[in-house]
Amino acid sequence: MSKYRQLFAAVALVAGTYALAAEDSAKDSTKDSGANNQVAVESTAIRQAQLKRSFEQFRAKLAVLTGRLETSPNAKDQEKAKAMRAALKEASERATENKFDGLIRALNTRGADQNLDVLNQAIRENRELREDLKKMIALLTQDDRDKILKERREEALRLLETLKDLRDKQSRAQTQTELGRKDSKDLAKDQKKITDKTSELREKLDKPTKDTEIAKQMEAVKKPVGDANKEQKNAEAQLGKNDKDGAGESQGNAVAKLNQAIKEIEDLLNQTRQEEKERKLRDLLARAKKMLDLEKEILSGTETLSRELSKQQDRKADVTQAARSNKLAEKQLESLRDCEAALTLIREDGTAVAFNEIFEQIDKDMDAAQRRLNRVEVDTVTVVIVADVVESLKEVVRALEKAIKDNENPSPPGPSGPSNPNDKLVSLLQQLKMVHAMQKRVNDRTAMYAKHYSGEQVPRPTNDREKERYEGITKEMKELSNRQERLSKVTKDLGKQAAQQQQ
Protein backbone atom coordinates (compact mmCIF):
# COMPACT_ATOMS: atom_id res chain seq x y z
CA MET A 1 0.00 0.00 0.00
CA SER A 2 2.77 2.46 0.87
CA LYS A 3 4.22 2.39 -2.66
CA TYR A 4 0.83 3.36 -4.10
CA ARG A 5 0.52 6.20 -1.65
CA GLN A 6 3.98 7.42 -2.52
CA LEU A 7 3.26 7.12 -6.23
CA PHE A 8 0.10 9.12 -5.95
CA ALA A 9 1.74 11.73 -3.76
CA ALA A 10 4.53 12.08 -6.32
CA VAL A 11 2.09 12.39 -9.22
CA ALA A 12 -0.03 14.91 -7.36
CA LEU A 13 2.90 16.97 -6.20
CA VAL A 14 4.37 17.04 -9.69
CA ALA A 15 1.00 18.13 -11.02
CA GLY A 16 0.90 20.87 -8.44
CA THR A 17 4.42 21.95 -9.37
CA TYR A 18 3.62 22.19 -13.06
CA ALA A 19 0.35 23.89 -12.28
CA LEU A 20 2.41 26.50 -10.46
CA ALA A 21 4.60 26.77 -13.53
CA ALA A 22 1.49 27.40 -15.59
CA GLU A 23 0.48 30.17 -13.23
CA ASP A 24 3.95 31.69 -13.37
CA SER A 25 3.97 31.56 -17.18
CA ALA A 26 0.57 33.16 -17.24
CA LYS A 27 1.67 35.97 -14.95
CA ASP A 28 4.88 36.60 -16.86
CA SER A 29 3.06 36.72 -20.17
CA THR A 30 0.96 39.63 -19.01
CA LYS A 31 4.07 41.73 -18.68
CA ASP A 32 5.83 40.99 -21.95
CA SER A 33 4.38 39.83 -25.26
CA GLY A 34 6.28 37.82 -27.87
CA ALA A 35 7.13 34.42 -29.30
CA ASN A 36 8.87 33.27 -26.11
CA ASN A 37 5.68 33.73 -24.07
CA GLN A 38 3.62 31.85 -26.64
CA VAL A 39 6.07 28.93 -26.61
CA ALA A 40 6.05 28.88 -22.80
CA VAL A 41 2.24 28.72 -22.65
CA GLU A 42 2.08 26.00 -25.35
CA SER A 43 4.77 23.98 -23.54
CA THR A 44 2.86 24.25 -20.27
CA ALA A 45 -0.32 23.03 -22.00
CA ILE A 46 1.56 19.96 -23.26
CA ARG A 47 2.87 19.22 -19.77
CA GLN A 48 -0.62 19.56 -18.32
CA ALA A 49 -1.96 17.06 -20.88
CA GLN A 50 0.77 14.60 -19.87
CA LEU A 51 -0.07 15.08 -16.22
CA LYS A 52 -3.75 14.52 -16.90
CA ARG A 53 -2.97 11.15 -18.52
CA SER A 54 -0.80 10.21 -15.53
CA PHE A 55 -3.62 11.17 -13.19
CA GLU A 56 -6.16 9.08 -15.16
CA GLN A 57 -3.86 6.03 -15.12
CA PHE A 58 -3.23 6.35 -11.43
CA ARG A 59 -6.92 6.82 -10.65
CA ALA A 60 -7.70 3.58 -12.54
CA LYS A 61 -5.00 1.67 -10.61
CA LEU A 62 -6.24 3.14 -7.35
CA ALA A 63 -9.80 1.95 -8.08
CA VAL A 64 -8.56 -1.61 -8.76
CA LEU A 65 -6.46 -1.70 -5.60
CA THR A 66 -9.34 -0.29 -3.55
CA GLY A 67 -11.61 -3.10 -4.75
CA ARG A 68 -9.04 -5.72 -3.75
CA LEU A 69 -8.50 -4.29 -0.30
CA GLU A 70 -12.25 -3.99 0.35
CA THR A 71 -12.61 -7.77 -0.05
CA SER A 72 -9.61 -8.53 2.17
CA PRO A 73 -10.33 -10.23 5.52
CA ASN A 74 -7.64 -8.03 7.09
CA ALA A 75 -9.19 -5.16 9.08
CA LYS A 76 -6.21 -2.88 8.35
CA ASP A 77 -6.62 -3.42 4.60
CA GLN A 78 -10.29 -2.53 4.87
CA GLU A 79 -9.44 0.67 6.74
CA LYS A 80 -6.97 1.61 3.98
CA ALA A 81 -9.64 0.88 1.39
CA LYS A 82 -11.99 3.35 3.10
CA ALA A 83 -9.40 6.14 2.80
CA MET A 84 -8.76 5.27 -0.85
CA ARG A 85 -12.48 5.13 -1.63
CA ALA A 86 -12.90 8.54 0.00
CA ALA A 87 -10.12 9.94 -2.23
CA LEU A 88 -11.77 8.51 -5.35
CA LYS A 89 -15.11 9.97 -4.27
CA GLU A 90 -13.47 13.33 -3.66
CA ALA A 91 -11.98 13.33 -7.17
CA SER A 92 -15.37 12.44 -8.65
CA GLU A 93 -17.36 15.03 -6.71
CA ARG A 94 -14.83 17.76 -7.42
CA ALA A 95 -14.60 16.75 -11.11
CA THR A 96 -10.81 16.93 -10.87
CA GLU A 97 -10.23 15.51 -14.37
CA ASN A 98 -12.49 18.20 -15.81
CA LYS A 99 -10.28 20.83 -14.21
CA PHE A 100 -7.28 19.38 -16.00
CA ASP A 101 -9.30 19.73 -19.22
CA GLY A 102 -10.31 23.30 -18.40
CA LEU A 103 -6.73 24.30 -17.71
CA ILE A 104 -5.50 22.65 -20.92
CA ARG A 105 -8.26 24.33 -22.98
CA ALA A 106 -7.41 27.71 -21.54
CA LEU A 107 -3.70 27.31 -22.31
CA ASN A 108 -4.45 26.07 -25.84
CA THR A 109 -6.72 29.01 -26.66
CA ARG A 110 -5.48 31.03 -29.65
CA GLY A 111 -3.58 34.06 -28.41
CA ALA A 112 -3.70 32.86 -24.77
CA ASP A 113 -0.35 34.50 -24.03
CA GLN A 114 -1.88 37.92 -24.80
CA ASN A 115 -5.43 37.42 -23.44
CA LEU A 116 -5.75 38.45 -19.80
CA ASP A 117 -9.22 36.89 -19.42
CA VAL A 118 -7.95 33.52 -20.63
CA LEU A 119 -4.86 33.72 -18.44
CA ASN A 120 -6.93 34.60 -15.37
CA GLN A 121 -9.18 31.62 -16.13
CA ALA A 122 -6.09 29.38 -16.32
CA ILE A 123 -4.92 30.72 -12.95
CA ARG A 124 -8.32 29.97 -11.38
CA GLU A 125 -8.40 26.46 -12.84
CA ASN A 126 -4.87 25.92 -11.59
CA ARG A 127 -5.70 26.95 -8.03
CA GLU A 128 -8.80 24.74 -7.89
CA LEU A 129 -6.84 21.81 -9.30
CA ARG A 130 -4.10 22.20 -6.71
CA GLU A 131 -6.69 22.27 -3.92
CA ASP A 132 -8.28 19.08 -5.28
CA LEU A 133 -4.92 17.29 -5.36
CA LYS A 134 -4.01 18.46 -1.86
CA LYS A 135 -7.34 17.15 -0.56
CA MET A 136 -6.79 13.76 -2.20
CA ILE A 137 -3.27 13.49 -0.83
CA ALA A 138 -4.60 14.28 2.66
CA LEU A 139 -7.25 11.55 2.35
CA LEU A 140 -4.77 8.95 1.06
CA THR A 141 -2.13 9.70 3.64
CA GLN A 142 -4.43 10.08 6.63
CA ASP A 143 -3.48 7.83 9.50
CA ASP A 144 -5.87 6.67 12.21
CA ARG A 145 -2.96 5.65 14.41
CA ASP A 146 -3.08 8.89 16.40
CA LYS A 147 -6.78 8.38 17.04
CA ILE A 148 -6.19 4.76 18.10
CA LEU A 149 -3.40 5.77 20.47
CA LYS A 150 -5.51 8.55 22.00
CA GLU A 151 -8.46 6.19 22.57
CA ARG A 152 -6.11 3.56 24.01
CA ARG A 153 -4.56 6.06 26.41
CA GLU A 154 -7.93 7.41 27.53
CA GLU A 155 -9.31 3.90 28.09
CA ALA A 156 -6.18 2.89 29.99
CA LEU A 157 -6.39 6.01 32.17
CA ARG A 158 -10.03 5.29 33.03
CA LEU A 159 -9.14 1.71 33.96
CA LEU A 160 -6.13 2.89 35.94
CA GLU A 161 -8.29 5.32 37.92
CA THR A 162 -10.81 2.53 38.70
CA LEU A 163 -8.07 0.12 39.79
CA LYS A 164 -6.42 2.70 42.03
CA ASP A 165 -9.75 3.56 43.61
CA LEU A 166 -10.44 -0.13 44.34
CA ARG A 167 -6.89 -0.62 45.64
CA ASP A 168 -7.17 2.38 47.99
CA LYS A 169 -10.58 1.27 49.30
CA GLN A 170 -9.28 -2.25 49.81
CA SER A 171 -6.24 -0.92 51.64
CA ARG A 172 -8.43 1.15 53.98
CA ALA A 173 -10.67 -1.89 54.60
CA GLN A 174 -7.58 -3.92 55.50
CA THR A 175 -6.47 -1.23 57.96
CA GLN A 176 -9.92 -1.21 59.62
CA THR A 177 -9.85 -5.00 59.87
CA GLU A 178 -6.39 -5.07 61.41
CA LEU A 179 -7.27 -2.31 63.91
CA GLY A 180 -10.17 -4.46 65.12
CA ARG A 181 -12.29 -1.51 66.24
CA LYS A 182 -15.31 -2.30 64.06
CA ASP A 183 -17.66 -5.25 64.34
CA SER A 184 -16.94 -8.16 61.96
CA LYS A 185 -20.41 -7.85 60.40
CA ASP A 186 -19.86 -4.19 59.54
CA LEU A 187 -16.42 -5.01 58.17
CA ALA A 188 -17.95 -7.80 56.07
CA LYS A 189 -20.54 -5.38 54.63
CA ASP A 190 -17.81 -2.89 53.68
CA GLN A 191 -15.77 -5.69 52.12
CA LYS A 192 -18.74 -6.94 50.09
CA LYS A 193 -19.14 -3.52 48.43
CA ILE A 194 -15.50 -3.58 47.34
CA THR A 195 -15.76 -7.23 46.26
CA ASP A 196 -18.83 -6.50 44.11
CA LYS A 197 -17.11 -3.49 42.44
CA THR A 198 -14.07 -5.62 41.66
CA SER A 199 -16.30 -8.37 40.27
CA GLU A 200 -18.02 -5.83 37.98
CA LEU A 201 -14.66 -4.64 36.74
CA ARG A 202 -13.54 -8.21 36.04
CA GLU A 203 -16.64 -8.74 33.87
CA LYS A 204 -15.98 -5.50 31.95
CA LEU A 205 -12.48 -6.73 31.13
CA ASP A 206 -14.09 -9.49 29.02
CA LYS A 207 -15.64 -6.84 26.76
CA PRO A 208 -14.28 -7.36 23.19
CA THR A 209 -12.08 -4.65 21.64
CA LYS A 210 -10.69 -4.07 18.14
CA ASP A 211 -7.42 -2.75 19.55
CA THR A 212 -5.16 -5.81 19.71
CA GLU A 213 -2.71 -4.06 22.06
CA ILE A 214 -5.51 -3.24 24.49
CA ALA A 215 -6.84 -6.81 24.19
CA LYS A 216 -3.39 -8.22 24.96
CA GLN A 217 -2.99 -5.94 27.96
CA MET A 218 -6.49 -6.75 29.22
CA GLU A 219 -5.55 -10.41 29.23
CA ALA A 220 -2.59 -9.55 31.45
CA VAL A 221 -4.85 -7.52 33.77
CA LYS A 222 -7.65 -10.08 34.04
CA LYS A 223 -5.68 -12.59 36.07
CA PRO A 224 -4.51 -10.32 38.90
CA VAL A 225 -7.97 -8.68 39.09
CA GLY A 226 -9.60 -12.13 39.17
CA ASP A 227 -7.13 -13.29 41.85
CA ALA A 228 -7.82 -10.13 43.88
CA ASN A 229 -11.54 -10.84 43.67
CA LYS A 230 -11.00 -14.36 45.02
CA GLU A 231 -9.00 -12.99 47.94
CA GLN A 232 -11.77 -10.48 48.63
CA LYS A 233 -14.38 -13.23 48.72
CA ASN A 234 -12.16 -15.18 51.10
CA ALA A 235 -11.95 -12.10 53.32
CA GLU A 236 -15.76 -11.84 53.35
CA ALA A 237 -16.07 -15.48 54.41
CA GLN A 238 -13.41 -15.09 57.09
CA LEU A 239 -15.08 -11.99 58.52
CA GLY A 240 -18.35 -13.97 58.61
CA LYS A 241 -16.51 -16.37 60.92
CA ASN A 242 -15.03 -13.48 62.92
CA ASP A 243 -11.56 -14.45 61.70
CA LYS A 244 -10.14 -10.92 61.46
CA ASP A 245 -6.52 -12.07 61.22
CA GLY A 246 -7.26 -14.33 58.25
CA ALA A 247 -9.43 -11.63 56.65
CA GLY A 248 -6.68 -9.02 57.04
CA GLU A 249 -4.19 -11.32 55.30
CA SER A 250 -6.62 -12.01 52.44
CA GLN A 251 -7.29 -8.28 52.07
CA GLY A 252 -3.54 -7.61 51.94
CA ASN A 253 -3.22 -10.22 49.18
CA ALA A 254 -6.04 -8.51 47.28
CA VAL A 255 -4.20 -5.16 47.52
CA ALA A 256 -1.04 -6.78 46.16
CA LYS A 257 -2.94 -8.29 43.21
CA LEU A 258 -4.59 -4.95 42.41
CA ASN A 259 -1.15 -3.31 42.48
CA GLN A 260 0.00 -5.91 39.97
CA ALA A 261 -2.91 -5.01 37.67
CA ILE A 262 -2.09 -1.30 38.09
CA LYS A 263 1.50 -2.02 37.03
CA GLU A 264 0.28 -3.69 33.84
CA ILE A 265 -1.84 -0.66 32.92
CA GLU A 266 0.96 1.76 33.74
CA ASP A 267 3.24 -0.21 31.40
CA LEU A 268 0.65 0.10 28.65
CA LEU A 269 0.35 3.85 29.28
CA ASN A 270 4.11 4.31 29.15
CA GLN A 271 4.30 2.44 25.84
CA THR A 272 1.41 4.45 24.43
CA ARG A 273 2.87 7.76 25.56
CA GLN A 274 6.23 6.86 24.07
CA GLU A 275 4.68 6.03 20.68
CA GLU A 276 2.51 9.16 20.74
CA LYS A 277 5.56 11.25 21.56
CA GLU A 278 7.62 9.70 18.78
CA ARG A 279 4.88 10.28 16.20
CA LYS A 280 4.52 13.89 17.28
CA LEU A 281 8.28 14.44 17.19
CA ARG A 282 8.62 12.88 13.73
CA ASP A 283 5.68 14.93 12.46
CA LEU A 284 7.27 18.13 13.76
CA LEU A 285 10.67 17.13 12.36
CA ALA A 286 9.22 16.59 8.88
CA ARG A 287 7.49 19.97 9.05
CA ALA A 288 10.63 21.71 10.33
CA LYS A 289 12.81 20.21 7.58
CA LYS A 290 10.30 21.23 4.93
CA MET A 291 10.21 24.78 6.28
CA LEU A 292 14.00 24.89 6.52
CA ASP A 293 14.44 23.89 2.86
CA LEU A 294 11.96 26.56 1.77
CA GLU A 295 13.50 29.21 4.02
CA LYS A 296 16.95 28.51 2.56
CA GLU A 297 15.49 29.21 -0.89
CA ILE A 298 13.90 32.42 0.39
CA LEU A 299 17.14 33.50 2.04
CA SER A 300 19.15 32.88 -1.12
CA GLY A 301 16.66 34.86 -3.21
CA THR A 302 16.49 37.67 -0.64
CA GLU A 303 20.28 37.97 -0.40
CA THR A 304 20.64 38.09 -4.18
CA LEU A 305 17.93 40.71 -4.56
CA SER A 306 19.32 42.78 -1.68
CA ARG A 307 22.78 42.81 -3.28
CA GLU A 308 21.32 43.95 -6.59
CA LEU A 309 19.36 46.77 -4.97
CA SER A 310 22.36 47.89 -2.91
CA LYS A 311 24.31 48.52 -6.15
CA GLN A 312 21.54 50.74 -7.51
CA GLN A 313 21.89 54.40 -6.63
CA ASP A 314 18.25 54.93 -5.63
CA ARG A 315 17.76 51.32 -4.30
CA LYS A 316 14.39 51.33 -6.02
CA ALA A 317 13.27 48.00 -7.48
CA ASP A 318 12.23 47.76 -11.11
CA VAL A 319 9.19 45.77 -12.25
CA THR A 320 11.12 42.50 -12.57
CA GLN A 321 12.77 42.88 -9.15
CA ALA A 322 9.43 43.75 -7.55
CA ALA A 323 7.91 40.60 -9.08
CA ARG A 324 10.77 38.50 -7.67
CA SER A 325 10.25 40.04 -4.24
CA ASN A 326 6.50 39.31 -4.42
CA LYS A 327 7.25 35.70 -5.40
CA LEU A 328 9.53 35.37 -2.37
CA ALA A 329 6.71 36.81 -0.25
CA GLU A 330 4.37 34.10 -1.57
CA LYS A 331 6.88 31.40 -0.62
CA GLN A 332 7.25 32.99 2.81
CA LEU A 333 3.49 32.94 3.27
CA GLU A 334 3.43 29.23 2.43
CA SER A 335 6.16 28.58 4.99
CA LEU A 336 4.31 30.72 7.54
CA ARG A 337 1.20 28.54 7.21
CA ASP A 338 3.29 25.41 7.84
CA CYS A 339 4.79 27.08 10.91
CA GLU A 340 1.35 27.93 12.30
CA ALA A 341 0.28 24.29 11.84
CA ALA A 342 3.38 23.10 13.72
CA LEU A 343 2.77 25.68 16.43
CA THR A 344 -0.75 24.31 16.94
CA LEU A 345 0.71 20.83 17.60
CA ILE A 346 3.19 22.21 20.13
CA ARG A 347 0.54 24.23 21.94
CA GLU A 348 -1.66 21.15 22.19
CA ASP A 349 1.22 19.22 23.75
CA GLY A 350 1.97 21.97 26.28
CA THR A 351 5.09 20.33 27.79
CA ALA A 352 7.87 22.32 26.08
CA VAL A 353 7.64 26.04 26.91
CA ALA A 354 10.91 26.97 25.16
CA PHE A 355 9.96 24.95 22.11
CA ASN A 356 6.66 26.79 21.99
CA GLU A 357 8.49 30.13 22.25
CA ILE A 358 10.99 29.40 19.48
CA PHE A 359 8.14 28.54 17.12
CA GLU A 360 6.33 31.71 18.23
CA GLN A 361 9.44 33.69 17.30
CA ILE A 362 9.81 31.89 13.97
CA ASP A 363 6.15 32.62 13.25
CA LYS A 364 6.57 36.33 14.01
CA ASP A 365 9.79 36.57 11.97
CA MET A 366 8.20 34.82 9.01
CA ASP A 367 5.29 37.23 9.19
CA ALA A 368 7.66 40.23 9.32
CA ALA A 369 9.72 38.90 6.40
CA GLN A 370 6.59 38.22 4.35
CA ARG A 371 5.32 41.76 4.88
CA ARG A 372 8.71 43.26 4.00
CA LEU A 373 9.06 41.19 0.85
CA ASN A 374 5.49 42.00 -0.13
CA ARG A 375 6.21 45.74 0.01
CA VAL A 376 9.60 45.15 -1.73
CA GLU A 377 11.61 46.28 1.29
CA VAL A 378 14.58 44.00 0.64
CA ASP A 379 17.32 45.48 2.82
CA THR A 380 19.82 44.26 5.42
CA VAL A 381 17.11 43.95 8.07
CA THR A 382 14.99 41.69 5.86
CA VAL A 383 17.99 39.48 5.11
CA VAL A 384 18.82 39.20 8.83
CA ILE A 385 15.23 38.31 9.73
CA VAL A 386 15.11 35.49 7.16
CA ALA A 387 18.60 34.33 8.21
CA ASP A 388 17.40 34.16 11.83
CA VAL A 389 14.48 32.01 10.73
CA VAL A 390 16.90 29.62 8.99
CA GLU A 391 19.14 29.40 12.07
CA SER A 392 16.15 28.90 14.37
CA LEU A 393 14.84 26.07 12.22
CA LYS A 394 18.28 24.43 12.22
CA GLU A 395 18.20 24.47 16.03
CA VAL A 396 14.67 23.04 15.99
CA VAL A 397 15.74 20.20 13.67
CA ARG A 398 18.74 19.37 15.90
CA ALA A 399 16.58 19.41 19.03
CA LEU A 400 13.91 17.20 17.44
CA GLU A 401 16.47 14.69 16.16
CA LYS A 402 17.99 14.52 19.65
CA ALA A 403 14.53 14.12 21.22
CA ILE A 404 13.67 11.27 18.83
CA LYS A 405 16.93 9.52 19.68
CA ASP A 406 16.26 9.95 23.42
CA ASN A 407 12.73 8.65 23.00
CA GLU A 408 14.03 5.50 21.28
CA ASN A 409 16.25 4.82 24.31
CA PRO A 410 14.20 6.18 27.21
CA SER A 411 15.42 6.27 30.77
CA PRO A 412 13.45 4.18 33.31
CA PRO A 413 9.92 5.61 33.57
CA GLY A 414 9.22 7.86 36.51
CA PRO A 415 5.87 8.54 38.13
CA SER A 416 3.03 8.77 35.65
CA GLY A 417 1.47 12.13 35.03
CA PRO A 418 2.52 15.54 33.74
CA SER A 419 5.38 15.89 36.26
CA ASN A 420 7.23 12.94 34.77
CA PRO A 421 10.32 14.35 32.97
CA ASN A 422 10.11 11.50 30.46
CA ASP A 423 6.80 12.96 29.24
CA LYS A 424 8.46 16.18 28.04
CA LEU A 425 8.34 16.57 24.28
CA VAL A 426 11.87 18.01 24.36
CA SER A 427 14.28 17.73 27.31
CA LEU A 428 14.95 20.69 29.61
CA LEU A 429 18.59 20.74 28.50
CA GLN A 430 17.63 21.12 24.83
CA GLN A 431 15.11 23.81 25.75
CA LEU A 432 17.72 25.74 27.74
CA LYS A 433 20.07 25.62 24.74
CA MET A 434 17.33 27.07 22.57
CA VAL A 435 16.63 29.83 25.11
CA HIS A 436 20.32 30.78 25.05
CA ALA A 437 20.30 30.95 21.24
CA MET A 438 17.04 32.94 21.22
CA GLN A 439 18.44 35.46 23.71
CA LYS A 440 21.54 35.95 21.55
CA ARG A 441 19.38 36.64 18.50
CA VAL A 442 17.29 39.17 20.44
CA ASN A 443 20.48 40.99 21.47
CA ASP A 444 21.88 40.94 17.93
CA ARG A 445 18.55 42.08 16.45
CA THR A 446 18.35 44.97 18.92
CA ALA A 447 21.85 46.12 17.98
CA MET A 448 21.02 45.84 14.28
CA TYR A 449 17.85 47.94 14.59
CA ALA A 450 19.77 50.58 16.56
CA LYS A 451 22.37 50.76 13.81
CA HIS A 452 19.95 50.63 10.90
CA TYR A 453 17.29 53.03 12.19
CA SER A 454 18.70 56.17 13.77
CA GLY A 455 16.75 58.54 16.00
CA GLU A 456 14.59 58.20 19.07
CA GLN A 457 11.28 57.95 17.20
CA VAL A 458 9.98 56.71 13.87
CA PRO A 459 9.91 59.61 11.34
CA ARG A 460 6.63 61.13 10.25
CA PRO A 461 5.55 59.51 6.93
CA THR A 462 5.09 61.68 3.85
CA ASN A 463 3.03 59.18 1.83
CA ASP A 464 1.06 55.95 2.19
CA ARG A 465 4.03 53.78 1.22
CA GLU A 466 6.20 55.33 3.94
CA LYS A 467 3.36 55.04 6.41
CA GLU A 468 3.06 51.28 5.75
CA ARG A 469 6.84 50.88 6.07
CA TYR A 470 7.11 52.83 9.35
CA GLU A 471 4.13 51.01 10.83
CA GLY A 472 5.86 47.72 9.98
CA ILE A 473 9.09 48.84 11.65
CA THR A 474 7.16 49.95 14.75
CA LYS A 475 5.43 46.57 14.91
CA GLU A 476 8.78 44.76 14.63
CA MET A 477 10.29 46.86 17.44
CA LYS A 478 7.32 46.18 19.70
CA GLU A 479 7.52 42.45 18.96
CA LEU A 480 11.22 42.48 19.89
CA SER A 481 10.31 44.01 23.26
CA ASN A 482 7.56 41.44 23.80
CA ARG A 483 9.98 38.68 22.80
CA GLN A 484 12.41 39.68 25.52
CA GLU A 485 9.62 39.66 28.08
CA ARG A 486 8.44 36.21 27.02
CA LEU A 487 11.99 34.85 27.11
CA SER A 488 12.33 36.02 30.69
CA LYS A 489 9.13 34.16 31.62
CA VAL A 490 10.20 31.01 29.75
CA THR A 491 13.55 31.02 31.58
CA LYS A 492 11.78 31.24 34.95
CA ASP A 493 9.42 28.40 34.00
CA LEU A 494 12.34 26.19 32.97
CA GLY A 495 14.09 27.01 36.25
CA LYS A 496 11.03 25.89 38.21
CA GLN A 497 10.80 22.65 36.20
CA ALA A 498 14.50 21.95 36.79
CA ALA A 499 14.04 22.52 40.53
CA GLN A 500 11.07 20.11 40.57
CA GLN A 501 13.14 17.41 38.89
CA GLN A 502 15.83 17.79 41.56
CA GLN A 503 13.28 17.13 44.34
The reply to whether 137 and 190 lie within a common domain is no
- pLDDT tens-place string over residues 174-197: 999 999 888 999 999 999 999 999
Does 299 fall in a domain?
no
pTM over 0.85: no
The whole-number pLDDT of residue 305 equals: 93
The whole-number pLDDT of residue 32 equals: 42
The reply to whether 244 and 154 lie within a common domain is yes
The answer on pLDDT for 387 being more than 90 is yes
The whole-number pLDDT of residue 23 equals: 42
CB 91 within 8 A of CB 132: yes
Does 50 fall in a domain?
yes
Does 280 fall in a domain?
no
pLDDT band at 210 (very low <50, low <70, confident <90, very high): low
- pLDDT tens-place string over residues 353-375: 777 888 888 898 899 899 889 88
The whole-number pLDDT of residue 191 equals: 94
Does 12 fall in a domain?
yes
Phi and psi (nearest 5°) for 458?
-70, 135
C-alpha to C-alpha distance for 323 and 330, rounded to whole angstroms: 11
The reply to whether 157 and 105 lie within a common domain is no
Provide the residue range defining the domain that includes 153. Answer: 147-270
The whole-number pLDDT of residue 379 equals: 87
Does 290 fall in a domain?
no
Q: 118, 142, 166: which is the final residue of a domain? A: 142
The reply to whether 460 and 323 lie within a common domain is yes
The reply to whether 487 and 342 lie within a common domain is yes
The reply to whether 46 and 138 lie within a common domain is yes
Of residues 223 and 475, more confidence is placed in 223
CB 115 within 8 A of CB 106: no
**Which range is least confidently modeled, 242-251, 381-390, 414-423?**
414-423
Does 187 fall in a domain?
yes
CB 238 within 8 A of CB 191: no
Q: 270, 305, 325: which is the final residue of a domain? A: 270
Q: Which of 232, 216, 15 is nearest to 135 (CA)?
A: 15
CB 195 within 8 A of CB 233: yes
List the Cα angle 471/474/479 in 5-degree steps.
Answer: 125
The reply to whether 25 and 96 lie within a common domain is yes
Of residues 289 and 354, more confidence is placed in 289
pLDDT band at 154 (very low <50, low <70, confident <90, very high): confident
- As a whole number, the mean pLDDT across the chain is 78
State the average pLDDT over residues 69-92.
Answer: 76
C-alpha to C-alpha distance for 352 and 214, rounded to whole angstroms: 29
The whole-number pLDDT of residue 35 equals: 54
Cα torsion through 70, 75, 79, 80, rounded to 10? -70
- pLDDT tens-place string over residues 38-63: 666 677 778 778 777 877 877 888 88
Of residues 29 and 298, more confidence is placed in 298
The whole-number pLDDT of residue 131 equals: 76
The whole-number pLDDT of residue 253 equals: 94
State the average pLDDT over residues 428-457.
Answer: 70
Distances from the Cα of 453 to the Cα of 151, 364, 445, 448, 484, angstroms:
54, 20, 12, 8, 19
- Cβ-based neighbours of 465, under 8 Å, separated by 6 or more: 375
C-alpha to C-alpha distance for 386 and 296, rounded to whole angstroms: 9
Does 76 fall in a domain?
yes
The whole-number pLDDT of residue 33 equals: 42
pLDDT band at 102 (very low <50, low <70, confident <90, very high): confident
Does 260 fall in a domain?
yes
Cα torsion through 278, 283, 286, 290, rounded to 10? -160
Could you tell me if residue 456 is left (phi over 0), alpha (psi between -120 and 50 degrees) or otherwise beta?
alpha
The whole-number pLDDT of residue 29 equals: 38
The reply to whether 323 and 196 lie within a common domain is no
The answer on pLDDT for 263 being more than 50 is yes
CB 108 within 8 A of CB 121: no
CB 442 within 8 A of CB 480: yes
The whole-number pLDDT of residue 461 equals: 63
pLDDT band at 155 (very low <50, low <70, confident <90, very high): confident
pLDDT band at 227 (very low <50, low <70, confident <90, very high): very high
Residues in the chain: 503
The whole-number pLDDT of residue 416 equals: 42
The reply to whether 205 and 231 lie within a common domain is yes
CB 383 within 8 A of CB 302: yes
Q: 109, 142, 175: which is the final residue of a domain? A: 142
Q: Looking at residue 154, which CATH number applies to its domain?
A: 1.20.120
Of residues 381 and 12, more confidence is placed in 381
CB 295 within 8 A of CB 386: yes
List the Cα angle 485/489/495 in 5-degree steps.
Answer: 145
The whole-number pLDDT of residue 411 equals: 56
The reply to whether 137 and 171 lie within a common domain is no
The reply to whether 74 and 1 lie within a common domain is yes
pLDDT band at 396 (very low <50, low <70, confident <90, very high): confident
The total domain count for the chain is 3
CB 391 within 8 A of CB 362: no
DSSP 9-60: HHHHHHHHHHHHHHHHHHHHHTT--SHHHHHHHHHHHHHHHHHHHHHHHHHH
C-alpha to C-alpha distance for 183 and 192, rounded to whole angstroms: 14
The answer on pLDDT for 293 being more than 60 is yes
The reply to whether 102 and 155 lie within a common domain is no
DSSP 196-264: HHHHHHHHHTTS--S-HHHHHHHHHHHHHHHHHHHHHHHHHHHHHTT-HHHHHHHHHHHHHHHHHHHHH
- Cβ-based neighbours of 441, under 8 Å, separated by 6 or more: 361, 388, 391, 392
